[in-house]
Structure 1
Amino acid sequence: MSNETLNIWTHFLPTWYFSWKLLASLWVLDVWSDSYTWPLVVFLVSCCIYPFTSSCAHTFSVMSTKARHICFFFDYGALSLYSLGSAIAYSAYSFPDAWLPSVFHDWYVPIAVVNTVISTGLSCYSRFPEMKRPQLSKVMRTMAFTYSYLFDSVPLFYRLYICAGEGSAENTVNHLKHIVLAVLTAFLFASHLPERLAPGRFDYIGHSHQLFHICAIFGTHFQMESITTDMATRRNWLAASTPRPSFRLTFGAFATSIVLSLMLTAAFSVALCRKTSCPGKEKPR
């Protein structure tokens, strides 16, 4: 039992819930011939990847300091992919009526791909000054994911707060639940509450990292519910107003981001090994 124990399970168990949702969707949807379903599939895959990668990172990060950094490089890449999956789903199902079609909608997913690179790169780089400047490291990491989330949510914010009335009241509540939980997740990550108020009392159960894991998972659940509802209720209107989702801006964008994230992870891992002189590597004389 350690402070990582529940961190592992709070993401490992939800991985199976999201995997079940993905398999259930693949069973009932005509994925092979209906491109309208592709953004949902990409989003659900990203929902499976990020908690699984996080649980692996928390499991194996205790092997060594070097392993900890590399494990969380993968974790940050997975979170960036989840952000892209959200953007792809929002682009297909949740954009406000007034922005369809628009230049912003045309460039929304490509910009989200670029944001994936920026978010992964900045968050991975933030681990290098962690020992000497921990506050700077924390700020950089928080900014990396806050920026991506805010960009992804721009059309959602506009639709909910400017164009109130688009969509059912129940689904609006689900969107708002997701937003509230996302804000709470960021607050817990940045504040280190409640353990800051009572050091030693929340080492195993109830510390901020566990709580923000739980908030993130519930937020993803409500996000999934709202996206699925938008997909079903807005289909006819979207079909008449926008082109069908393309392979390039769904699976293509997602695959491109996976490759770029893996390349960044490899680059930062190599840089880390060179900085710390990997075992087995002969030191220069």
Structure 2
Amino acid sequence: MPRVSFAPPSLCLTFLPLLHRLLPSLPPTVRDVDVPPLFRERFILAGYRPVGLSWRCYVLSLFQIHNETLNVWSHLLAAVCVVMRLMAFTGPEGQGFSVDASSLPLVLYVFSAITYLSCSAAAHLLQSHSEQAHYSLFFLDYVGVAVYQYGCALALCLYSSSTAWTQSMLGQVFLPAAALLAWLSCTACCYAKLRFRRPYPLHRKLCQVLPMGVAYLLDISPVAHRLSTCSWTSNSALPLHFLQVVLFLLSAFFFSCPVPERFSPGSFDIVGHGHQLFHILLSLCTLAQQEALFRDFLWRRPALVREFGEQRLLLACASFPCLTLCCAITAFAMRRKAQAQLMKEQR
């Protein structure tokens, strides 16, 4: 009977040391008492990555189990799904999709979704490098959120609104008000991050939640009007819009309340804490919203230019990079303040 050898081939013996050098073993995670207060989360007792490692270690921690792993992967995978769904839509399903005045708001919406998902994933993956990096990356995260808020507002206003809502007083002032609230949300979140230290007071959370809550109520008003005045069987996008509203409200609950970890500190450090549930629900909300907007786009595109006018559509799209620039400047100014504050504390 022939013998079977289980010895690894010589190629593996050559490749494994190279792989080990490229992907070195990472330091084990530590408990909350082993990292500065800035990096701790309430009721999360373990699974923290040590502060002050090289950037490469934090990049490679994408493949490590820690208390940010699901936060990162949920938004990374959602970003990939957004891109793949767009690529599928631009085929035959998109009925001759091309980038013009009528489709540009949809392209900007997809760009805004990828931006917020990518910025969030980067912030949670790399923020443990240093206090300066922590502030800078979360300021970038807030810019991504504001960009997504306005990308949603732009697309929902143009594709998901009824004629009655568009001609109302709210419809006339909608986009300027949405841009202002998106910038205010970014500014308030940056300010709250910089101003308050742990243990965080209640008004820090209110400073973050209230501007975003008001912005969401405004941004979703075109959809709320259609859901309340139209038959849901008349348009296949309406059940998806209802689903994305439910998912957003659930995600807002877990963002605002540290549950379930509050009731069993240490039990949900790696899987299941509130911020992870917030990330997962928000990712699902984005995918449902994207699908609804694709269907609304096909529904509204034939009459969109005639109803709004090409010049007005292009002007509305031009406001998107202006809002992005304003938020980026605000985040950069807050970063400078954070840097000065950290230097002052180190003296």
Q: 2:82 maps to which residue? A: 18
Highest RCO, 1 vs 2 (Cα 8 Å, sep ≥ 6): 1
Give, in whole Å, the separation in 2 of the partners of 1:16 and 1:226.
18
Residues 132 and 200 (structure 1), Cα distance of their counterparts in 2 relative to 1, 3 Å cut: closer
Q: CA deviation at 1:235?
A: 3.1
Q: CA deviation at 1:24?
A: 4.4
Are the aligned partners of 1:167 and 1:230 in contact in 2 as well (CA < 8 Å)?
no
Matched, 1:9 2:73: yes
Q: CA deviation at 1:222?
A: 0.9
Q: CA deviation at 1:169?
A: 4.8
Give, in whole Å, the separation in 1 of the partners of 2:315 and 2:232.
28
Are the aligned partners of 2:160 and 2:223 in contact in 1 as well (CA < 8 Å)?
yes
Q: 2:154 maps to which residue? A: 88
Give, in whole Å, the separation in 1 of the partners of 2:233 and 2:297.
11
Q: CA deviation at 1:50?
A: 0.6
Matched, 1:76 2:142: yes
Give, in whole Å, the separation in 1 of the partners of 2:189 and 2:306.
40
Are the aligned partners of 1:96 and 1:166 in contact in 2 as well (CA < 8 Å)?
no
Are the aligned partners of 2:68 and 2:124 in contact in 1 as well (CA < 8 Å)?
yes
Q: CA deviation at 1:208?
A: 0.9
Matched, 1:139 2:203: no
Give, in whole Å, the separation in 2 of the partners of 1:257 and 1:57.
21
Are the aligned partners of 1:130 and 1:137 in contact in 2 as well (CA < 8 Å)?
no
Give, in whole Å, the separation in 1 of the partners of 2:306 and 2:215.
30
Matched, 1:149 2:216: yes
Residue identity in the other structure for 1:47: A
Residues 218 and 132 (structure 1), Cα distance of their counterparts in 2 relative to 1, 3 Å cut: closer
RMSD of Structure 2 on Structure 1 (CA)? 2.1
Q: 1:234 maps to which residue? A: 300
* Structure 1 gap segments, 5+ residues each: none
Q: CA deviation at 1:234?
A: 2.9
Report matched runs for 1:61-140 at 5 Å.
61-127=127-193, 128-131=195-198, 133-140=200-207
Residue identity in the other structure for 1:95: S
Give, in whole Å, the separation in 2 of the partners of 1:241 and 1:166.
23
Q: CA deviation at 1:278?
A: 7.0
| TM-score normalised according to structure 2 size | 0.74
Residues 82 and 36 (structure 1), Cα distance of their counterparts in 2 relative to 1, 3 Å cut: same
Identity %: 29
Are the aligned partners of 1:81 and 1:257 in contact in 2 as well (CA < 8 Å)?
yes
* Structure 2 gap segments, 5+ residues each: 1-64
Are the aligned partners of 2:66 and 2:270 in contact in 1 as well (CA < 8 Å)?
yes
Give, in whole Å, the separation in 2 of the partners of 1:247 and 1:238.
12
| TM-score normalised according to structure 1 size | 0.90
Q: 1:29 maps to which residue? A: 97
Report matched runs for 1:227-266 at 5 Å.
227-244=293-310, 246-250=313-317, 252-266=318-332
Give, in whole Å, the separation in 2 of the partners of 1:66 and 1:138.
21
Are the aligned partners of 1:122 and 1:140 in contact in 2 as well (CA < 8 Å)?
yes
Give, in whole Å, the separation in 2 of the partners of 1:169 and 1:249.
26
Q: CA deviation at 1:268?
A: 0.3
1:184-225 deviations in Å (ceiling 9; x for gaps): 000011111111111111100111111111100111111111
Give, in whole Å, the separation in 1 of the partners of 2:233 and 2:190.
38
Number of residues of Structure 1 aligned to a counterpart in Structure 2: 277
Residue identity in the other structure for 1:143: L
Matched, 1:198 2:264: yes
Give, in whole Å, the separation in 2 of the partners of 1:167 and 1:57.
41
Residue identity in the other structure for 1:76: Y
Q: CA deviation at 1:148?
A: 1.3
Give, in whole Å, the separation in 2 of the partners of 1:268 and 1:165.
46
Moved over 6 A (4+): none
